[in-house]
Amino acid sequence: MTADTTSSEPGARTLFDHDPTALAELLASWKEPAFRGRQVLEWAYRHGVTSYDEMTNLPKGLRAKLAADAPLYESTIVRQQEASDRTVKLLLGWPDGTRSECVLIPDGTRRTACISTQVGCPVGCVFCASGLDGLQRQLTSGQIVEQAMRVRGLCGEDDRLSNVVFMGLGEPLANYEATVRAVRTINEAWGVGIGARKITVSTVGLPKQMRMLADEGLQITLALSLHAPTDELRRQIIPWAERVEIESLVEAANYFFQRTGREVTLEYILLGGLNDAPEHARQLASVSKRMRSNVNVLLYNPVEGLPYRRPTDANAERFVAIVAERGVNSHVRRSRGLDIDAACGQLRRREARLRGEA
């Protein structure tokens, strides 16, 4: 396993790739006054316009230049699905023909955007649709931010976007630089404006990058996709686990807590008959207690063509109870959007099959 921590930035950079300094430099090169940058960012993020034509206090000539040199939205919404529980999934098409997914998850007063960092995924977890066709390319930081903005556009004035999770297609820490840039833009007051503690980055477990993230000075949540409590079982589920032992993940998670004061969330997807036995629950509790962590148990969303099954609700509750009895904060995370290709990568893969590409 070799983790690619660089992000390719194909084509023209969009506005969402620019922080205030980069935008100021671009505008200065056109002899524009400094306040124009503040105006542009305010229109894009605070007002959420989708076209430079809507930035009515900018000269038409400047709008045309920006549209050419720093496009605003470059994705198109290929398909939109809404579930009975009001979860909304978007399939986005990019100019190079690739496609990615993002999701709006409403829960009470919370509105969460689940966004992708790669087109496809290199990890190849055996139960997941995201990596069935491998990795096509990295998403740029601007394309990652654009997904959050697309999802924010689905929210109303009274139910604004409150949380962002990097849990869509791809391994965020294998696109490290673009992911961190996107996190900063999503967090900044001039950007999407989501509090750091309401941003979660999920990883299958890259110890070096977990430590790097700990040193970024960000108060975000780190979620570790463990999915098995022993190295032997984890290697059956996650190919990349062949060269990353749980012990090294424990050490990296403890470093993250020491540097940030933030507990790590252990994500554990229950696969019926594979990793959901009482013994697995006891082993998971033992791993969790070796670090400052809590446990998030998920029930598997079946993927067409894969042999894995969803455990019963009773088995899931028993599993969580065993973990909790051993003093670990744990709960079942409710599955959302089961009637709309809910699992990561399902909608993208279904669309590709319709186009004859998979």
For 158, phi and psi rounded to 5 degrees?
Answer: -95, -5
Residue 156: pLDDT band (50, 70, 90) is confident
Residue 69 has pLDDT above 50, yes or no: yes
Which pair of tokens denotes residue 177?
A: 């630089």
Set out the domains of the chain in order of their start, with CATH numbers: 19-69 (1.10.150.530), 76-354 (3.20.20.70)
241-284 pLDDT per residue, tens: 999 999 999 999 999 999 999 999 999 999 999 999 999 999 99
Cα angle, residue 205 at apex, residues 199 and 210 outer, rounded to 5°: 60
Give me the pLDDT at residue 130, please.
Answer: 75
Q: Considering only residues 352 and 274, tell me which one the structure prediction assigns the higher pLDDT.
A: 274
The predicted structure's pLDDT at residue 18:
96
% of the chain residues with pLDDT over 90: 79
Question: What's residue 4's pLDDT?
Answer: 40
Mean pLDDT confidence for 25-41: 97
pTM: 0.90
Residue-level pLDDT at 7: 35
For residue 307, the model assigns a pLDDT of 87
**Residue 272 and residue 307 in contact, taking contact as beta carbons nearer than 8 Å:** no
Greater confidence, 341 or 59?
A: 59
Catalytic residue numbers, as ranges: 101, 344
At 11 the pLDDT is: 45
pLDDT digits (tens, 9 = 90+) for 269-327: 999 999 999 999 999 999 999 999 999 999 998 887 888 989 988 999 999 999 999 99
Distances (CA, A) of 125 to 173, 276, 306, 314: 16, 17, 11, 25
| Sign of the dihedral defined by the CA atoms of residues 347, 351, 354, 356, in that order | negative
For 195-213, the pLDDT digits (tens) are 999 999 999 999 999 999 9
d(CA 133, CA 122): 9
Mean pLDDT of the chain: 90
What's the average model confidence in pLDDT over 74-84? 94
